[in-house]
């Protein structure tokens, strides 16, 4: 079997092994739709490939997914290199998202953290600040959920994609992002 075939098979298996997350995905979409309908915004962050996923989701919300609809306020906290490097330099890299959540988050907003392990200090600090600001937290998490599990509260949503391979978790996160966008579009347009 070729490396390419192995990747396709592993990806398909990972996707199918996580179909049980359907109710969580629907809850996330309904939470975000309600947030947007009530004038709130979504702040999104992650590291590495998860930062790219944050930007992907933001673009689908701000522009459109598949159908024409109004613009939705999805703001990625990962894209402003000047802000990220100034906070990392002047304070600490673990503060790059929490300082932005403190400045931008308002009651009724949502924060989505995207992580494949649940162990990044900057993600955990952002969650703590979100709770202080009465911002609902949504986690697209991975593996066993990591340390982040201990920081999630009652109204938060902690969706954990099972698996040990970061690439497979990220692939499922990408599919989940598309499902969320599709559902939000259907709530608005249908």
Residue 1 has pLDDT above 80, yes or no: no
Residues whose CB falls within 8 Å of the CB of residue 159, separated by 6 or more in sequence, listed in order: 21, 24, 25, 28, 138, 139, 140, 141, 176
- For 106, phi then psi, to 5°, come to -130, 155
Q: What is the largest CA-CA distance in the chain?
A: 52
Residue 127 has pLDDT above 90, yes or no: yes
Query: Using one digit for the tens of pLDDT, what is the confidence trace for 144-190?
Result: 999 999 999 999 999 999 999 999 999 999 999 999 999 999 999 98
Task: Locate 14 and state its tokens.
Answer: 């990972």
Q: How far is CA 61 from the centre of its chain?
A: 13
Q: How far is CA 151 from CA 94, 119, 136, 143, in A?
A: 16, 11, 12, 16
pTM of the predicted protein model: 0.96
Q: How far is CA 31 from CA 37, 91, 111, in A?
A: 10, 33, 11
Segment 118-132 mean pLDDT: 98
Query: Using one digit for the tens of pLDDT, what is the confidence trace for 71-100?
Result: 999 999 999 999 999 999 999 999 999 999
């Amino acid at each position: 079997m070729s490396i390419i075939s192995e990747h396709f098979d592993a990806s398909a298996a990972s996707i199918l092994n996580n179909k049980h997350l359907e109710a969580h995905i629907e809850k996330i979409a309904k939470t975000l739709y309600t947030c947007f309908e009530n004038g709130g915004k979504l702040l999104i962050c992650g590291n590495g490939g998860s930062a790219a996923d944050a930007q992907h989701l933001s673009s689908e919300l701000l522009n459109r997914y598949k159908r024409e609809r109004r613009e939705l306020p999805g703001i990625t906290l990962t894209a402003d290199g000047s802000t990220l490097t100034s906070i990392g330099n002047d304070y600490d890299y673990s503060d790059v998202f929490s300082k932005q959540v403190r400045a931008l988050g308002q009651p009724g907003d949502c924060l989505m953290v995207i992580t494949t392990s649940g162990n990044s200090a900057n993600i955990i600090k952002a969650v703590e600040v979100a709770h202080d600001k009465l911002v609902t937290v949504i986690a697209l998490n991975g593996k066993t959920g990591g340390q982040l599990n201990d920081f999630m509260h009652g109204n938060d949503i902690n969706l954990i994609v099972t698996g040990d391979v970061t690439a497979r978790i990220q692939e499922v996160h990408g599919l989940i992002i598309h499902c969320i966008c599709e559902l939000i579009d259907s709530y608005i347009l249908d």
